[in-house]
Amino acid sequence: MATSYYRNKPSDTSSICVQTNTARSTGISKLDIITYTGLDSDNQSVQLTAKITGLKTNEKESASYYFTGAFRRSKGIITQIDSTLMIAQSVDTSSWSATFAVKGTNILVQVAGDKASIIDWRAVLESIKNV
């Protein structure tokens, strides 16, 4: 159940990109729901804002996350500037989570549930990149 939509692809020369995706997680393993690949050369930075909702398949538990973070690429390495700012979070189950992670030259939006949950997730990632 994964779908993706791009307003502009991260690799485009445009400085603004919107990505969306849906996915289903099972258990506590982190799931990469969106991968941002827009920092494709050195001396670039990006501000990312993620909005995520999760609904357990029994429809009795849900969560919502709204957070932002800034990243830069220098000498082929992507690093996060400061820490992720959680703007809003509403959860029925505190063991669920959503966050950013860096893996190689990609920035991931990750979600996770708990051990007994099947969760349907929806995510939107907005990026503003210097070009």
Q: Tell me: the pLDDT tens digits for 28-78?
A: 889 999 999 989 899 999 999 999 999 999 888 999 999 999 999 999 999
pLDDT average, residue stretch 104-117: 92
CA distance 12 to 72: 17
Give the model's pLDDT for residue 124: 97
**Fold designation for 3-8+15-126:** Immunoglobulin-like (2.60.40)
126: region left, alpha or beta (phi > 0 left; psi from -120 to 50 alpha): beta
| Confidence at residue 12, expressed as pLDDT on a 0 to 100 scale | 57
Residue 72 contacts residue 79 (beta carbons within 8 Å) = yes
Question: Would you kindly state where each structural domain of the chain is located, as residue ranges?
Answer: 3-8+15-126
| pLDDT value of position 1 | 44
Q: Hey, is 72 helix, strand or coil? A: strand
Rounded distance, CA 114 to CA 125, Å? 23
Query: Does the predicted TM-score (pTM) go above 0.95?
Result: no
84-109 residue pLDDT tens: 999 999 999 889 999 999 999 999 99
